[in-house]
Amino acid sequence: MQSNKNIKPKIIYLASDHAGFNLKEDIKKLLIKKNKKVSDLGPFNSSNSVDYPDFAHKLSKKIKNNNEFGVLICGSGIGMIMTANKYKNIRATLCYNVKSAKLSREHNNANVISIGSRLTKKKLALECINTFFKTKFKGGRHLRRVKKI
């Protein structure tokens, strides 16, 4: 039997802009409740306007291996994934329903989920987060395709 000593625990980085701050806090509570290792990269209040690329860059630079994942939240979710996907190790997806969250993991091995706080109700956003983190990558023909990205 193989030892689990060398397996690093999964870490989930969170970041948002001012528009996504409240949803980020709700997602953080959900992940902590599920005993996930979470690192909040900010912002740490919603009262000041901030630039979403700054936080997408900050999160994307952190993800270096298969045990590191990210959650990005801005008003639409779009600016965050546009920024994050410029990084070699990132496969960021915009999720707007549970099926998109599931397929992005199963077929695309996404490691960053982005949600638009102005376009997605809290309940649905939390369902997307749950689905994203419980879904495994299928590999097989999907691995061949992901390698072509």
142 belongs to the catalytic site: no
The reply to whether 18 belongs to the active site is no
Annotated catalytic residue, options 18, 57, 74, 95? 74
One-letter amino acid identity for 131?
T
- Cα–Cα distances in Å, from 12 out to 1, 48, 55, 65, 122? 28, 24, 14, 12, 19
Instruction: Give the H or E element holding residue 124.
Output: helix 122-134
Among the listed residues 18, 95, 107, 142, the single catalytic one is: 107
Positions annotated as catalytic residues are 74, 107
